[in-house]
Structure 1
Amino acid sequence: MIFDKNTRIVEFIKRPNRFQGYVVVDGKEELVHVPNTGRCKEILIPGCKALIREENGAHRKTRFSLIGAYKDDTLVNIDSQIPNKVVEEALINKKIKGLENYTKIYREKTFGNSRFDFKLEDSLNNQYYLEVKGVTLEENGFCRFPDAPTERGTKHLLELIEVKNNNIGAGVIFLIQLEGVKSFSPNDDTDPKFANALKKAKSKGVDIFVYECTVSETHIELSKPVELKL
């Protein structure tokens, strides 16, 4: 997907809380919105090159959102609203192996008491529920999720098992928001409950997809599958 708003590279200064950051814009320090609740400590390092997006909302308190940053020479997209949009585009273009036959795509649909990012249907009305997780934590080409404990994430995995138990298709896709990835694993050290839930989900037949993206200062797109190591 191509960003429909102007972007620019600036210097990152600090992040006082989850939703606020300070950068240098035209020589002046400016407050920006950070659309990511994760820690991103290994990415948002004072002095790094950050990618900001111009915003036009009438009721916004900031002119820009901080949507990415360079980690050495690699641009990492950290906008938590991006993964679902990228996955939807990939589903429409049939780029996710195993999900090509699903032609109807619905956002934010419920199963029982659970709400999932996507509900898919094929021409025979077979249903499939898909949850999306954006990944930004990387070290030497090896990526992990989550970068902070996530009870919500664990809950989603257990609920996908329930979907599968009802003979309905279920899967989770980890969208890695950077390029040049070697493999992906759950972050056992940070959240062992999530890691155990992911292993259980796989053993129960829940599909686990892992893809990296091509990322630039003006676009992001799902590109190729990444090896899963459990």
Structure 2
Amino acid sequence: MRFPMPLQSAILIKRYKRFLADVTTPDGQILTLHCANTGAMTGCAEPGDTVWYSTSSNPKRKYAHSWELTETQAGDFICVNTLQANALVKEAIELGRIPELAGYSSLRGEVRYGEENSRIDFLLQHDDKPDCYVEVKSVTLLEQSRGYFPDAVTVRGQKHLRELQSMVEQGHRAVLLFAVLHSGIDQVSAARHIDPVYATLFEQVQKQGVEVVCYKAKLSPTEIILQEQISVIS
């Protein structure tokens, strides 16, 4: 996925009110950016980090600039715009970069399913295959050379695991896809130290047949490509 225009850089002053961040541009101007990531963003938003942002031409937007990437002071790139994860996965599926999800004739997004009022990120279908339910989770938390999900307690994520297990029980395929959007992460684990309930469910649903795949993105201020498979470690 190429950005329509190359991103511009600035230095992060602070992130606040979840949706906003103040930055200093190379010419000394202070801008307020919109931040689409409402999560903890642990390690992704340290004052002094380089922020790469896009600019919208929509005159109705209150904040024209959007925070897309962080370049940490250690040199890692992180996609902090959580809206990009599903677009990257969709592109990768359609271009055949995820062999585990190849061979389907139909791909639909945000389909209602399950008993807990959920929406699946992608439903893959083909006449001679079981339906395949794909839940996408972006991974940006790096600790001690390993990536972790989630970066905060996630009741919603726990629900998604139960829904995936229910699909397997009904005879469908269910896939949890970790999209790693941090250049410093080379393996991923469930974050038991952050959300032990999620980690326990994660182990349980795998034993019941939920598949887990993990792909890492190549990140730059001009494009993001989800292409490299990496390991999920218990």
Task: Find out whether 1:61 has 2:62 as its counterpart.
Answer: yes
Partner of 2:110: 108
Task: Provide the rounded CA distance (Å) in 1 between the counterparts of 2:179 and 2:173.
Answer: 19
State which of 119, 128, 134 in structure 1 corresponds to 2:132. Answer: 128
Task: Provide the rounded CA distance (Å) in 2 between the counterparts of 1:207 and 1:175.
Answer: 14
For structure 2, list consecutive stretches of 5 or more residues without a partner in the other structure. Answer: none
| TM-score (normalised: structure 1) | 0.95
Partner of 2:44: 43
Task: Provide the rounded CA distance (Å) in 2 between the counterparts of 1:36 and 1:217.
Answer: 18
1:10 positional shift: 0.6
Partner of 2:95: 93
Deviations 1:155-195 (A, max 9, x none): 00110000110001111101000235331001111111111
Task: Find out whether 1:14 has 2:14 as its counterpart.
Answer: yes
Contact 1:51 1:217 survives alignment (8 Å): yes
| TM-score (normalised: structure 2) | 0.94
Contact 1:22 1:32 survives alignment (8 Å): yes
Contact 1:36 1:80 survives alignment (8 Å): yes
Bigger mean CA offset, 104-113 vs 195-204: 104-113
Task: Provide the rounded CA distance (Å) in 1 between the counterparts of 2:88 and 2:60.
Answer: 26
Contact 2:187 2:232 survives alignment (8 Å): yes
Percent identity, aligned pairs only, is 30
1:17 positional shift: 2.0
The code of the aligned residue for 1:24 comes to T
Task: Provide the rounded CA distance (Å) in 2 between the counterparts of 1:214 and 1:84.
Answer: 15
Contact 1:6 1:54 survives alignment (8 Å): no
Task: Provide the rounded CA distance (Å) in 2 between the counterparts of 1:118 and 1:197.
Answer: 21
Bigger mean CA offset, 14-23 vs 93-102: 93-102
Deviations 1:89-137 (A, max 9, x none): 0110111132111231101112243310000012425311101001111
Partner of 1:139: 143
The code of the aligned residue for 1:11 comes to I
For structure 1, list consecutive stretches of 5 or more residues without a partner in the other structure. Answer: none
The code of the aligned residue for 1:43 comes to C
Aligned-residue CA RMSD in angstroms? 1.4
Task: Provide the rounded CA distance (Å) in 2 between the counterparts of 1:227 and 1:164.
Answer: 23
1:140 positional shift: 4.3
The code of the aligned residue for 2:88 comes to V
Contact 1:5 1:55 survives alignment (8 Å): no
Task: Find out whether 1:33 has 2:34 as its counterpart.
Answer: yes
Moved over 3 A (4+): none
Deviations 1:17-52 (A, max 9, x none): 211100013312111101101112312111111111
The code of the aligned residue for 1:76 comes to I
Task: Find out whether 1:117 has 2:121 as its counterpart.
Answer: yes
1:63 positional shift: 1.7
The code of the aligned residue for 2:197 comes to K
Task: Provide the rounded CA distance (Å) in 2 between the counterparts of 1:51 and 1:197.
Answer: 36
The code of the aligned residue for 1:19 comes to F
